[in-house]
Structure 1
Amino acid sequence: MGSAIGANITQQRERLGWSQARLAREVCRAAGVVGDPVGRQEVSRWETGKRTPREWLPFLAAALAVPVEVLTTPQTAAEPPLPTLADFLPAEDPLEPLQARTGGRIGVSQVADLAQRVHGLRLADDFLAGGDLMRPALRELRKSVRMFREHSYTETTGRQLLVQIGELAQIAGWIASDAGQHEEAERIYRLGLSAATQAEDRTLAGNLAGSLAYQLSNTGRELEGITLARAALDGAGPDAPPKARALYLDRVAWAHTKAGGAENAQHAMRALGEASEALSADSEGSESPAYLYWVDAGELQVMEARVFTELRRPLRAVPILRDVLGRYDATHTRELALYLSWLAVAYADANEPEEAAAVAERVLTLSADIASERTAERGRVVLARLADYADVPEVRAVLDSAA
C-alpha cells in the first residue's frame, strides 16, 4: 500500500508541476498548521514508500485537489516511467532548516551580496583552474548553506536564497570536477539540484543535472550520463530559454558520444542539430539566466568538433576547431589548452603527425602551470595518441620533452 500511495503522490504532484518542497508547503497550509512539520524530505519518504502519510493523507488529498481514493488506489501496471530529476536528489536533505534558528533574520540585501560573490566566482573560473578556486568555492558554499538552515527569512527571500545556493553549487561542482575531486563534485551538484528543485527553478536544475551528467560521461559512467542528461532536458521542458536548451542538448550529444556505438553516434548528431536550432531561436528579446553568458555559437561549434573527434571523423573536426581557435580569447588559458588537445588528436587521426606534434607542444606548454586535472588528463590522451607516430622526428621530440 505504501509504495502505491507513493507512486500516486508523485504522479499527482508532477501533474501540477510542483516540487516536493512546494507540496510540503501546501500540505501544511491545508492542515492549517504553523511552522514546517512536513518538509521536502518527508514528502520524499512518502513518495519512495519509506513512510506512509497516515494522518496527513486527507491534507495531501486536499492540497492536490483529488479524492483520498485517488491516492490510495494502486495504479494499473504500466511501462516503467522515464527517470526524472527527482530520482537524482540526495537521499537525505542537506538543506533541511533547523527547528531552532539562532542566526537572526536575513533579507534581500544579504541574498544580493551572495549573488555578487557567486557571479565573481563564476568569472574567476574563466581565468583560474579548479585547484586554485577549490577552497574559496567550498568555503562560500558552506557559508550559504548555514545561512539557509540557521537564519529566518520570508518565503520569497528563502526561495531567492535557494536559487543562489543552486548557482553556487553549480560553479563549485564544476571547480571541484576540474580539480579532479569527482566524488566531492557529485555531492555538490546533488546539493545544488536539491536547492534548485525546492526553489522550483527548472532551468537551474537542468544546468546542475547537465553538469553532473557531463562529469559522469567523462569518468566511465556513460550510461548514467545519458540518463541524467536526458532527464535534465526533459525536466526543463520545451519552454526553457534557448541558450539553456542548447546547452542541455550539447550535454545529451556528449553523453551519447562517450557511450560509443553507431546508434549512440546517431543520437549524438541529432542532438547537435537540435542544439544549433535551439540557439538560433535566441534573440534580443529572449531571456536567459546570467550564468549562461558563455553559451554561444562558438561553444556549440567546439562541442560539435569534439564529437567528430571522438567519433574519429577528423576531416569534419579539424576545420571547425581551426576556425573557432583562430578567434578564441587567449586569456582563457585552460579552455584554450583543452580545445587544442582535441585538435591535436584530430590531426593525428587525419594522419598528420607533424601538425599534431606542433599543436601538442602548445597544449603541454599552456597546461604546465594550470592546476586543472582536466587539462592534465587531456595532455595524457594527446601523448598516448602521438605514441603511434613515435618514429616521426617532430613527434619524438614532443614525447621526449614530456618524458
Structure 2
Amino acid sequence: MNDRTRSLGDYLAALRRGAGLSQNQLAARLCLASGTASVTRSEVSRWERGVRVPGVWLPFLAQVLAVPLSELRQAAAYARGDERAQLPVPARTLADLLPDGDRLTPTGSGRHLGADDVTELAGRAHALRLADDVLSGGDLIGPAYRELRRAVDLYRTATFSETTGRGLLVQIGELGQIVGWIASDAGRLDDAEDAYRIGLGAARQAGDATLAANVAGSLAYQWTNTGRPRDGVALAEAAVREAGRDAPPATRALFLDRVAWAHTRAEQSQPAMRALGLAHEALSEEERAPAPDWAYWVDRSELEVMDARVFTELRRPLRAVPLLTRVLGEYAPTHAREMALYRSWLAVALADANEPEQAAEEARRVVDLSGDLSSERTADRARVVLTRLREYEEVPEVDAVLRDHGHLLLA
C-alpha cells in the first residue's frame, strides 16, 4: 500500500458514502450489476483501504455509483503509478491549495472585510468541527482543505481593520487545528502537520495563547500516536505552559489529558497518572471566563475516556472496563468513529482482564463500525484489537473473529 492506492481508497469511499451506501450494500449492488456473487464487503474494504485496486470491477462501480467510467479508470491508473494520470478528487495535498512563501502576510489587494465576515468564517469553522463529530477524515478532507485555503486567501488579499485582522487570524488558527485533525484521521500525516503549523502561526500572530496551545497540543497528540511519544511529551507540556493558568478550566483539562497520554505512550506511568489528576482538578475549577466554542466537547465523560485509555495502556483493566462501559452506555450512536475507538479500548481491556469471549464480541463491533468509516484511526485500532486477541485464538469466539477478519492484519 502506498499514498496513491490509499488516495484511491479515500476517493472510492467518498463516492460510496455520497451514494448513501454501506460497504455491504455496495457489495450487494455490484453482485447484482455483474450477475455474480463474488464481491464481498471485505473486498470493498480492501479497495477503500488501498490494499487492492478494483480492476475489472470498474465498469460496475461506475454503474452503481453513477460516475463516469473514464473518471474511475483515470483514478485506477493514478493508483497504479501512471505519471500522466491525476486522481479526480478535490485537493490532494495542502501544498496544492495554499500559496508559496509567507502564507499569512496580507497584500491588501482585495475587497474590504469587516466583523460580519469574521462571524461567517467562525460559523464555517464550527460547522466543520460539528461535521467531524459524525463523519470521518476521508469524507471531510476535501471540504476542509478548501475552507482553510479560502480563509488564508481572504487574509492575504483583503483589506481590514486591526480588530478584523485579528479575528481572521483566530479563525485561521481554528481551521488549522480542525483541518489538521481531519487530515490526521484520513492518514495524511504530513498534510496534518502542515495544517497544524499554519494554525499555530495564526493563533500566535493573533495573540490567542489558548488557541495556540490547542493547536500545539493537537500536533503533540499526532506525534505521540505515530512513534514520537517523547517529542509528544515535550510539545504537550509546552502547550500547557503556553496556555497558562488563566486559560479556561475545560481547555486546561484537555491540554493536561494530552500530556497524560503522551507520558503513557512514552512508558512513563507516574507522570501520566499525575497529569490525569491535574486534568480532573482543572475541570472542577470554577470558570472565570467562558470556554471557547471549540472546546464544546470537553466534559467529564471525555476525561474518563482518557483515564480508561491510560489505564488500558498501563494494563490496569479493572479500572478501565467500568469507565468505558459506562461512557459507551451514554454515548450517541451517531458518533460512529468515537464509538469504534472507545470500543477498541474496551476490547483490549477485556482481553487484559482474561475475558476473551467478551473481548471478541467487542472486537466484532469495532470491525463492523470501522468498516463503514474512512478513518485511519479506527482502521489502526481494529488491527490493534485483532493482534491482541491472537493470544486467545484457541477460544472459539476469538477464533471465529480472527477467521472472519484476520485479513485486516495483512493491510
**TM-score higher than 0.5 here?**
yes
Aligned positions of 1:3-402 closer than 5 A = 93-98=102-107, 101-260=108-267, 264-283=268-287, 286-402=289-405
Return the alpha-carbon distance in structure 2 between the equivalents of residues 222 and 387 of structure 1. 26
Deviation per residue, 1:260-283 (Å, 9 max, x gap): 1xxx21000000000000001145
Return the alpha-carbon distance in structure 1 between the equivalents of residues 308 and 243 of structure 2. 26
Letter in 1 for 2:335: H
Q: TM-score, normalised by structure 1?
A: 0.75
% identity of equivalent residues: 62
**What is the CA distance between 1:109 and its match in structure 2?**
1.3
Q: Which runs of 4+ in 1 moved over 6 A?
A: none
Deviation per residue, 1:227-252 (Å, 9 max, x gap): 10000000110111000100000000
Unaligned residue ranges in structure 2 (runs of 5+): 1-100
Secondary structure of the 1:95 match is coil
Return the alpha-carbon distance in structure 1 between the equivalents of residues 242 and 177 of structure 2. 17
Letter in 2 for 1:352: E
Partner of 1:43: none
The alignment yields a C-alpha RMSD, in angstroms, of 1.2
Letter in 2 for 1:272: L
Deviation per residue, 1:93-138 (Å, 9 max, x gap): 421223xx32121111111111111111110000000000000000
**What is the CA distance between 1:145 and its match in structure 2?**
0.3
Return the alpha-carbon distance in structure 2 between the equivalents of residues 187 and 231 of structure 1. 19
Return the alpha-carbon distance in structure 1 between the equivalents of residues 129 and 252 of structure 2. 20
Letter in 2 for 1:289: P
Return the alpha-carbon distance in structure 1 between the equivalents of residues 360 and 111 of structure 2. 60
**What is the CA distance between 1:179 and its match in structure 2?**
0.4
Letter in 2 for 1:270: R
Return the alpha-carbon distance in structure 2 between the equivalents of residues 230 and 273 of structure 1. 15
Partner of 1:82: none
Return the alpha-carbon distance in structure 2 between the equivalents of residues 332 and 379 of structure 1. 17
Residues 243 and 282 of structure 1 are in contact (CA less than 8 Å); yes or no, is this contact kept in structure 2?
no
Return the alpha-carbon distance in structure 1 between the equivalents of residues 241 and 117 of structure 2. 33
1:377–1:96 CA distance, 2 compared to 1 (3 A): same
Residues 137 and 172 of structure 1 are in contact (CA less than 8 Å); yes or no, is this contact kept in structure 2?
yes
Q: TM-score, normalised by structure 2?
A: 0.73
Return the alpha-carbon distance in structure 1 between the equivalents of residues 106 and 399 of structure 2. 60
Return the alpha-carbon distance in structure 2 between the equivalents of residues 282 and 245 of structure 1. 12
1:221–1:147 CA distance, 2 compared to 1 (3 A): same
Secondary structure of the 2:109 match is coil
Secondary structure of the 2:330 match is coil
Return the alpha-carbon distance in structure 1 between the equivalents of residues 162 and 112 of structure 2. 12
Deviation per residue, 1:252-303 (Å, 9 max, x gap): 000000111xxx21000000000000001145x6410011000000000000
When the two structures are aligned, how many residues end up with a matched partner? 307
Letter in 1 for 2:199: G
Unaligned residue ranges in structure 1 (runs of 5+): 1-91
Residues 93 and 194 of structure 1 are in contact (CA less than 8 Å); yes or no, is this contact kept in structure 2?
no
Partner of 2:37: none
Residues 249 and 271 of structure 1 are in contact (CA less than 8 Å); yes or no, is this contact kept in structure 2?
yes
**What is the CA distance between 1:196 and its match in structure 2?**
0.3
Letter in 1 for 2:197: R
**What is the CA distance between 1:355 and its match in structure 2?**
0.6
Residues 353 and 395 of structure 1 are in contact (CA less than 8 Å); yes or no, is this contact kept in structure 2?
yes
Secondary structure of the 1:126 match is helix
Partner of 2:82: none
